[in-house]
Amino acid sequence: MRSVPGRRPDPAVGSLPAPEPVAECLLIQVAAKEPFEVLRLADRPGSGVVFTGAGAIEAIQATRRHGWKRPLLADRRRYTGPARVRGTVGFAPSWLAGQRDAGVSPVLTDSGYVADGDVTALRAILGQAAEAGPDVTAVLPLHERWLHEGRATLIAEVIAHDVPVALVLERADDPLATAQAMAGLTDLLRSASSVALLGAGIGGLAALAFGAQWAAVGVRASLRSYRPADCEPGSPRRRRRWRPAPQEIVAAPVLSFSPIDAVVSACAASGANVGWACRCSSCQGRTPEWLASAAALDADAHTVDVLLRHAERVRRHTPGPAREQAWRRQCRQALGRHDELGLAALGWQPSGVLMACAAFSSGHAPKAEDQIRARGRRRVPA
Ligand SMILES: [Zn+2]
């Protein structure tokens, strides 16, 4: 949301009715500087917006002044980039107070990064969040091993501090594309009182299905992935090769993100197979060729509508085994369409997170199934 720099608490905003509750919502995560029109993507029950970056609170104030009632959250994202801060850094009091002044609930911490084995940083974030008040959710930007070898420590610390947490999962590709990672996430979801997921892709749907308090899916590829510092654009390793990422959409039949051109080409290669027809409110039964020349916001509207329809299907079921089984059926259907549409012959790999979810067995420790993760995926993390 474009706004004047500098935090200016607006007393009028604090007196507005509180936004709708965030529980069970699939939010969209956008940059604070996104044009105002992006709000229409998430303006429906069960959704809302996470604004990202230093201007997020001003974006929320501007949005609330326009009468928007859906949930609004603010992710400072100090944990990313080559110059990311460590999790031991103190929260900025103005960041927490600014969210409270803007009527935001829950208040998200402006946490730094928790590297592999950095228990000191983990405890620093959780301890500060516990002291900051019951309306605060601790943002936990975690190295991927925290869901694997570090799982027991992570769960013990979250339970000991008894604060809601919102995970951000670091990995060069999809962080939930292994059964081991899914097991780590579901163990935490079943052990802790309130767990959410920020900056997700298709894994946001999986988190909701397995009991997350809420989840946020990035509209841009950069906001649905959390790459290690040496993989970030602008890092010495990446500086020479960096190019702006092409716009991606959800390939609706197979429920995975892919560049628009790749989706259109795959559809054309399969003879515009009726299996590509999308029933979202933007496509209205059309196959995806029209998206190649559509405005970026219309392409995003397709993606968000497809995701929110899946979230609605997930929420139709009671939380617990019934919901998990329903989600796994959705995953198997999408994986089946990958075969039906002949995408393997076009070089597409099936979605790793869908494979991990479809194979995941509720209530049982999963086997070491990392080998099921699709290798050589050409798409960015789902
Ligand atoms: Zn569509």
**Could you tell me what percent of the chain has a pLDDT over 70?**
88
The Å distance, Cα 192 to ligand 1 centre, comes to 36
Give tens-digit pLDDT for 83-110: 899 999 999 999 999 999 999 999 999 9
Domain 11-231 has CATH 3.30.70: no
Mean pLDDT of 183-195: 96
The Å distance, Cα 371 to ligand 1 centre, comes to 32
pLDDT for the residue 16: 83
The Å distance, Cα 325 to ligand 1 centre, comes to 25
Structure tokens at 31: 């940059």
Give tens-digit pLDDT for 292-349: 999 999 999 999 999 999 999 999 999 999 999 999 999 999 999 999 999 999 999 9
The Å distance, Cα 270 to ligand 1 centre, comes to 18
Alpha carbons within 13 A on the beta-carbon side of 84: 29
Q: Are strands 248-251 and 256-259 parallel, antiparallel or unpaired?
A: antiparallel
The Å distance, Cα 279 to ligand 1 centre, comes to 6
Give tens-digit pLDDT for 230-271: 776 555 555 555 566 789 999 999 999 999 999 999 999 987
Residues 6+ apart with CB under 8 A from 276: 252, 253, 267, 270, 287, 288, 341
The Å distance, Cα 304 to ligand 1 centre, comes to 9
Residues 6+ apart with CB under 8 A from 164: 106, 136, 137, 138, 193, 194, 195, 196, 213
The Å distance, Cα 321 to ligand 1 centre, comes to 29
| Ion ligand 1 neighbours, Cβ < 5 Å | 278, 280, 283, 302
The Å distance, Cα 217 to ligand 1 centre, comes to 17
Give tens-digit pLDDT for 7-28: 556 767 877 888 899 999 999 9
- Band (pLDDT 50/70/90 cuts) for residue 373 is very low
The Å distance, Cα 181 to ligand 1 centre, comes to 30
Cα angle vertex 118, ends 131, 166, to 5°? 50
The Å distance, Cα 46 to ligand 1 centre, comes to 19
Reduce the DSSP state of residue 204 to 3 states and report it: helix
pLDDT for the residue 352: 94
Judge whether 80 and 228 are in contact, CB under 8 Å: no
The Å distance, Cα 206 to ligand 1 centre, comes to 20
The Å distance, Cα 290 to ligand 1 centre, comes to 10
- Band (pLDDT 50/70/90 cuts) for residue 57 is very high
Structural domain boundaries in the chain: 11-231, 248-375
- Band (pLDDT 50/70/90 cuts) for residue 172 is confident
pLDDT for the residue 348: 94
- Band (pLDDT 50/70/90 cuts) for residue 380 is very low
Which DSSP string corresponds to 224-247?
Answer: S----GGGSTTSTTTTTT--PPPP
> Has residue 370 got a pLDDT over 50?
no
pTM listed for this prediction: 0.89
The Å distance, Cα 41 to ligand 1 centre, comes to 13
- What's the mean pLDDT when you consider all of the chain? 89
Judge whether 210 and 187 are in contact, CB under 8 Å: no
Mean pLDDT of 122-151: 97
